[in-house]
Structure formats: C-alpha cells, structure tokens
Chain A
C-alpha cells in the first residue's frame, strides 16, 4: 500500500460498500424524478459521470418514461441530450408534452457500425448532459470504453439493452431491469441492490 487514500474520498466515490444501508442522504445531484427509485439509489439519483444500463424485454415497455423527468430537467437547464441511433423516431409532440426542451434534444443517426464511435464521442466530449444509446452487440471491452468515456466527460450515459445482456457482467455503475410490473435494480455501485423489484406503477399517458 504505497498510496495513502482518504477514506472520505473513497466514500464519496461510492467504491466502498459499508455493509449497512447508508443513511438516507439529501436529494442527489441527478435525481431520477421517481421518488421510489431515488430512495433506493445511493446518492439519491443517477450515478454521475457513469453509465446506466436499462435492460428491457421489448421496446415500448416504459423505458423512456423512466428517463423523461431527468431529460426534462437536463434539457431545460440548457444542456444537450443526445440520442444515438434510436430504434424509432423520438416523437417530438410527446417529448414536448413531457416538458423536454426540444431545442436541446439531438438525434444522431450513426448507422450500426458507427454507433459505438458516436456514443463514445458524445460521452467523452463533456458537451452533453445526457447521452442515450441503443447499441447492438457491444462487447465487454467496448462497454468499458464507454464507461471510461462517461467518466471523462462527466456525463450521464444510458444504454438500452435486451434482457439477455443481464447474464453478462457489465462495468456500468447502475443496471436496471424491467420485470413484469416492476423494476429490478441488478447492480448499483456503492450499495446493496434491493432484494425485491420496485413496484413500477401504471404510468400516465403522454
């Protein structure tokens, strides 16, 4: 042990698990906008400067609903939100209804082979508030690259992946999985994931 590490820094970086649930912190810097989810996440919100994986059984299951409050907050703060290679057209009237500032919502149609490059550029640049990606067939190395890029750019990165990806480990700081009527936290850096899925209420229509 050559280096002297400050315990406080390690705690702040959430690399240590303290063995007992952390005392409920104040509101996080990047709240998800869903009170139940904020309550179980360490830091009270999305992990900053890190990847979040959302594992979905099918499109249209509520994956955007999960993000809309955060995206509305980020876009209204004037920071760009970039959608890299979305599977469908993000429908602007619905996004505007959900309170997003459409002037900050950018879509990058990179094509399947350039999507990972575009994702990394956006994450790394530090220009974006949040980056959403729908990458196909990412390997462990590429995921790690993206995670490092998100750390470098201090940016919220969201990857939407199929359920089958849950079997493989991932460097993402937070992994959420849609499961029937609930939302299961598979992994969250800095805390023990709750044993039971969060009830995910029937959502209002946008």
Chain B
C-alpha cells in the first residue's frame, strides 16, 4: 500500500475564497463572539499586510483597511473536504478523509500504473487542486499517518518503502506532528524534540504518561500496526449550494457562481465515471418560496463547458421571479456516461456539434417539447396517423399508406375558400373511430384550387361540399 496524503491546511478559507470573484484581494476568516472577533485564517494578500492568525479583528483592520472579512463556517469547510474526496475518487478506488486533520488520503499504489510514475502523478494532482482552488501539501508514504507527517513537514516529500521511511521519520521534529497540543507540550517539557527520541522511549512509560493512544498512534505511523480507515463512498446525488452576500437581480450575476458549481458537478461526475442528463437550478429568494429551473440534455453529458452552456441558455430564457439570495445545483439522476465516438479522420468543421448536443441546445433555449419528430401510428384517421416523440422509441412502426397523402397537414381543418375547385381524385372514404367517441365519416378528395395549389379536402360522406381543407400536396 502506498498512500498519498493531501493536506488542506486552510480549507475553511479556501471554501470562502472559492466564492470570491477576486480571490487575490485580502481576506480573513474570523471567529469568536462579536465583541472579540479573532482572525482564524488569512489569505496571502492579507498576510502580506501583516494580518496573522490569532490577531484581534480590529488590529487586523487597522493593518489592512481593505480587508474583507468572512465568518467561519465549519459545514462549508466540510463540504469542501467532501468535494476533495469526490475528486480524489477519480484517481483511486480507496479514498479516506479525516476532517480533524484536514486531510484526504488516497491509495496510489494501484493507480501508479495508470497515472504514474509518481512525479507525473503528483503534478496531475497539483494541477487539479490548483484548478479547484485548494491550498494543499502533498506527501507520499507507505502508511497514511506517515504520509501526512511528511506533507506537514515539507510539501512534496515522497518515500515508497518502509526502511527509508523509518530513517526519515527519525529526523522529523515533534512540533510538526499532527498531535494534540497538550501531548506536544508535554513531550517538549520532557526534552523530546525529534521523533527518534520519542520512538526510543520505553512503551510502558509512554502508556503511563499519555495513555494507550500515543503508542498505538506511533505503531500506525511506522507501519507496525494496521491503520484501518472508513473508505469514502461517493454519494448517489449531487447537490451544491452557493450563497451570495448580496441579492442578485440579473442572471448575468449568476453566471460566475453557476460556472463554479457546474465545474464541481463535472468533477464529481468524472469521479463516478457518470454523466448527467437532467439537473435543477434552485434559486432561493428573500420572503418568497424558492424557484427552480430544469436543465436537460438528450444524452448524458459531463463536459463543464457544455453543461454551463445548457444552463446559461435555460437561464436566459426565463426571467428571475425575485432577487436571488442563494443558488444551488442539484442532480438526482446520474446515468453512465458514454463518450461520443468520433471519426479519426473527421472532416467536419471545427466547433461542430453532433445532433444530440444541438438538440439539447435548442431544447435548453426553447423548450423540451419544441424539438420533436413524428412516428407513424396504425390509425386510419388522418389526425391520428402520426404521433410526436422526443427520442427514439423501440419498435417503430413501418406502415405503408396505399393512397396519396398530403405532405402538409393542417392541425385543424378549415373551410376551403375561393372559387369551386376541380376534383383531381377521390373520393376516398375514411370512416373509423366509433369505439373511442371520436368517430368520423368523411369523403376525401384531391382538388386543384384556382391558384394552382393542390389540396386535400373532405366533406361529409356521400355529399359533394362544402369542402373542408385538411392538407396541401406541397
């Protein structure tokens, strides 16, 4: 087993920064009672201005007047860890996480054949984490805890065998280990500075001073004892919410967060090797029930640009009923994704779509019902001889019509106006439908009008007029 630990030292801050249109502007995360707010985390720009963790908010604001301030939201930070797990699941089947340690582990021993060697794999991981907007440190070791210790000690340390790992661990300072503060201070008071000294201490004495946990922790760290952890299991649905500081009145203001949410969705789908055919955009309003819009496509999709375009078209079609406080994306059905097969020597112009993609685009802007086709129905009544469908139906009927039929049919017959037409063919009597109450008894004729048009007209059975126009032989 080879574990990569991805340590996210400031995931709570990253969760807030991901919402900001300008993540480079100074920003600090604060917590504590309103009178005594303290800086918990600060981003690079704020740190440069002198803002530090543990500072009072007033002091931080004095140092950096343009500092933006956000409250600490543990649920949001945990959601981000969940997202990181979903992303990591795309690289390994064995993923686990521990919120208390701000870390996601993935077993990479089995993935190196596909993504490796490790330096290339590591670059892949780092590029993705960068795109996700996550500040990270990565370590690689045969045990999860050792990987985390290495990552905390120095970013990018990688050890693949137990023996060199022991040697490396010996040199680690106690101060960087993910131990409780009390334990760390007690060890410092004992004069234990390096892990080597701690490992050399007699276990019986350690147990008396610190309880059994520390000894077990050391065994798991060095690989002397197994370290079982609950594996991450990807959820069967996707839901992500984006809350705004101000109300958003126009849909242009929703496009940036929407793109962020859909990129998350695409990452989640890639991890599951799934696609999405239908998802909902849910808008929360002040003093009003939430509204929602459905976005659909003809085939499962997972390309973030495609998803964004479909959602944008739907968004532009509708007007927002009220200013929006929060936006969420929710996908319930996640069918398997089959990438479209393309020809190696494809001669179609660049930027060309295939029909399902075009259909999805049209349906997104117009309406799901707006794009359809017809299948034949075994019914002699002209109005019922075809039925509109939106996708392929199994066992499509092939029905041969023996007599001439017009290429245009009027949805509703209208009286034929103008001078008396000349009859070209007919009558054809259609008499049917007594069983469902929509029975008709008509004689159909093909006639030529004064303009040279050829029309399909009918009159009640046995009569010659007045003519009702039902179609054109165009």
Which A positions have Cβ atoms within 8 angstroms of B? 57-65, 68, 80, 86-98, 102-103, 105-111, 114, 117-118, 121-122, 125-128, 152-154, 180-181, 203, 205-206
Contacts and interface: CB of A to CB of B under 8 A. Distances in A.
A194 to B, nearest CB: 21
Nearest to B392: A103
Contacts of A98: 407
B4 interface: no
Counting chain A CB atoms within 10 Å of each CB, which of B351, B355, B401 scores highest?
A: B355
Contacts of A96: 376, 398-401
Interface string B385-420: 110100010001011110011111111000000000
B76 to A, nearest CB: 39
Given A60-B408, A96-B401, A107-B373, A65 B474 contact: yes
Contact of B411 (A58, A59, A88): A88
A103 B373 contact: yes
Interface string B345-382: 00011011111011101100110011111111000001
Interface string B440-458: 0000001000011111000
A57 B451 contact: yes
Contacts of B349: 126, 152-154
A80 B454 CA distance: 28
A61 B453 contact: yes
Counting chain B CB atoms within 10 Å of each CB, which of A92, A106, A126, A203 scores highest?
A: A92
Contacts of B405: 91, 93-94, 97, 206
A92 B382 CA distance: 10
Interface of B: 348-349, 351-355, 357-359, 361-362, 365-366, 369-376, 382, 385-386, 388, 392, 396, 398-401, 404-411, 424-425, 446, 451-455, 471-474
Contact of B404 (A87, A110, A206): A206
B359 A205 contact: no
Contact of B376 (A59, A64, A90, A102): A102
Nearest to B373: A106
Contacts of B454: 60, 62, 205
Contacts of B410: 88-89
B366 A110 contact: yes
A107 B374 contact: yes
A91 B382 CA distance: 9
A110 B364 CA distance: 12
13 contacts: A60-B406, A61-B453, A86-B408, A90-B408, A92-B385, A93-B405, A94-B406, A95-B407, A96-B400, A102-B396, A107-B373, A110-B362, A126-B348
Given A92-B375, A206-B404, A206-B473, A118 B409 contact: no
A100 to B, nearest CB: 10
Contact of B453 (A60, A125, A180, A205): A60
Nearest to A88: B408
A121 B348 CA distance: 16
Contacts of B411: 88-89
A196 B453 CA distance: 22
Contacts of B471: 88, 91
Contact of B401 (A61, A93, A110, A121): A93
A127 B370 contact: no
A60 B409 contact: no
B452 A92 contact: no
Contacts of B355: 80, 127-128
Contact of B348 (A97, A110, A154): A154
Given A108-B362, A118-B366, A92 B374 contact: yes
Contact of B362 (A68, A94, A121): A121
A88 B409 contact: yes
A61 B358 contact: no
Given A62-B474, A125-B352, A114 B366 contact: yes
Contact of B407 (A64, A107, A126, A152): A64
Given A91-B407, A93-B376, A180-B452, 14 more contacts: A57-B451, A61-B452, A63-B474, A64-B407, A87-B408, A89-B410, A106-B359, A108-B362, A108-B370, A110-B370, A125-B358, A126-B353, A154-B348, A205-B425
